């Protein structure tokens, strides 16, 4: 479970288990050995990663956990500005733990596999992600080259982020993704305006009426649904919670908001096999973008507005305005 540790000592012990390194979210300089494992590692992949503790050394468990721990930018910002540090942890820990298993964000699976592959440790993955149901939809629009590249990058991974400006067409690319995956999908948005935009896009590009969950009203179909995040995080949304596990694909629009605690908990409650985030600003001012990557995966395709302008040969016109100031005459 994500949260701030009650004291920094616990996290520091985790971070000191093995060689010291600077990037706590990516232990590149740390190596596991086969001596850290007395048997094959059992991993369950669902809405999060569950690593069974049996047969794994404390050192290895600490290294696994470190993939979900990073320095808290707020702490160091306050430290630099000589502001109070009371109740501000030095590290943010997105891992969890049960009696028998270590719990990590689903976006860390590549790091875990790399750590195990580098030391030739045997492991098995039990995939319990929701496959969803097959849906029949066809994409009626034509993508341009960069959108095709983005779509291909997303199809090559089960989880990840499309980072592009508002003029790129992330919505139409996501619609094409739904048509390619052909599995029932839920799209999470921040506002009612975005919900209406998505609803129109689904109708236009997929010729399908999307269901909605918003403002206390639930017209979801279980095929393609759009939900306002606030509607699913309120207490009165309890009746919708059991249906979170029916979708095979989750798309999070404006996924830079996932670092907010309530939004993060909502996103990680879905156990869809395919999880994608859409954003124009993956890097946050508060420095907590690693939470986004842990829940929605790494950036699969990125293009800036400036790059798009060059690609699409947009012409920019600059008009020079001459301002003349005339002082009133003295009478």
Q: Tell me if 169 is assigned to some domain.
A: yes
Q: Tell me if 27 is assigned to some domain.
A: no
278 and 309 both lie in a single domain: yes
Give the per-residue pLDDT at 284: 81
Residue 84 belongs to domain spanning: 35-127
Give the per-residue pLDDT at 11: 38
Q: Which candidate, 208, 177, 169, 150, places its Cα nearest to that of 275?
A: 177
Q: Tell me if 155 is assigned to some domain.
A: yes
Are residues 26 and 111 in contact, defined by beta-carbon separation less than 8 angstroms?
A: yes
pLDDT, averaged per 10 consecutive residues of the chain (331 residues), comes to: 40 38 50 94 97 97 96 90 90 94 97 96 97 96 95 98 93 98 98 97 96 91 95 66 85 95 93 97 85 96 81 49 56 46
Cα separation, 30 vs 139, whole angstroms: 46
176 and 231 both lie in a single domain: yes
193 and 310 both lie in a single domain: yes
Q: Which candidate, 266, 300, 270, 2, places its Cα nearest to that of 159?
A: 300
- Domain count within the chain: 2
Give the per-residue pLDDT at 237: 52
C-alpha distances (whole Å) from 142 to each of 80, 168, 174, 207, 273 are: 51, 14, 13, 14, 27
234 and 265 both lie in a single domain: yes
185 and 239 both lie in a single domain: yes
206 and 160 both lie in a single domain: yes
150 and 238 both lie in a single domain: yes
Among 127, 158, 191, residue at a domain's last position: 127
Query: Domain containing 105 — which CATH number?
Result: 3.30.780.20
Q: Count the neighbouring beta carbons within 10 Å of the beta carbon of residue 49.
A: 24
Query: Domain containing 272 — which CATH number?
Result: 3.40.50.300
123 and 152 both lie in a single domain: no
């Amino acid at each position: 479970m994500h949260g701030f540790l009650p004291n920094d000592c616990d996290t520091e012990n985790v971070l000191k288990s093995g060689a010291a390194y600077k990037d706590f979210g990516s232990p590149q300089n740390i190596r596991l050995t086969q001596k850290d494992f007395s048997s094959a590692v059992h991993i369950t992949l669902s809405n999060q990663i569950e690593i069974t503790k049996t047969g794994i050394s404390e050192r290895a468990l600490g290294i696994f956990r470190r993939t979900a721990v990073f320095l808290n930018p707020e702490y160091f910002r306050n430290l630099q500005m000589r502001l109070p540090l009371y109740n501000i942890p030095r590290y943010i820990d997105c891992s969890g733990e049960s009696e028998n298993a270590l719990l990590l964000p689903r976006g860390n699976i590549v790091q875990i596999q790399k750590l195990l592959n580098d030391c030739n440790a045997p492991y098995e993955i039990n995939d319990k992600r929701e496959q969803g149901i097959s849906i029949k939809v066809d994409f009626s629009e034509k993508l341009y080259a960069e959108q095709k590249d983005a779509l291909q990058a997303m199809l090559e991974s089960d989880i990840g982020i499309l980072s592009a400006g508002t003029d790129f067409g992330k919505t139409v690319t996501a619609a094409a993704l739904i048509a390619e995956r052909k599995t029932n999908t839920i799209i999470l948005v921040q506002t009612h305006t975005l919900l209406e935009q998505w609803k129109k896009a689904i109708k236009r590009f997929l010729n399908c009426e999307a269901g909605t969950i918003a403002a206390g009203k639930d017209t979801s179909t279980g095929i393609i649904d759009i939900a306002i995040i606030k509607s699913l995080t309120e207490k009165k949304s309890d009746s919708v919670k059991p249906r979170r596990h029916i979708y095979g694909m989750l798309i999070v629009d404006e996924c830079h908001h996932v670092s907010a605690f309530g939004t993060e908990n909502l996103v990680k409650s879905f156990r869809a096999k395919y999880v994608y985030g859409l954003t124009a600003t993956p890097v946050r001012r508060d420095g907590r973008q690693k939470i986004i990557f842990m829940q929605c995966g790494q950036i699969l395709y990125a293009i800036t507005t400036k790059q798009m302008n060059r690609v699409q040969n947009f012409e920019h016109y600059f008009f020079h305005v001459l301002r003349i100031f005339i002082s009133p005459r003295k009478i």
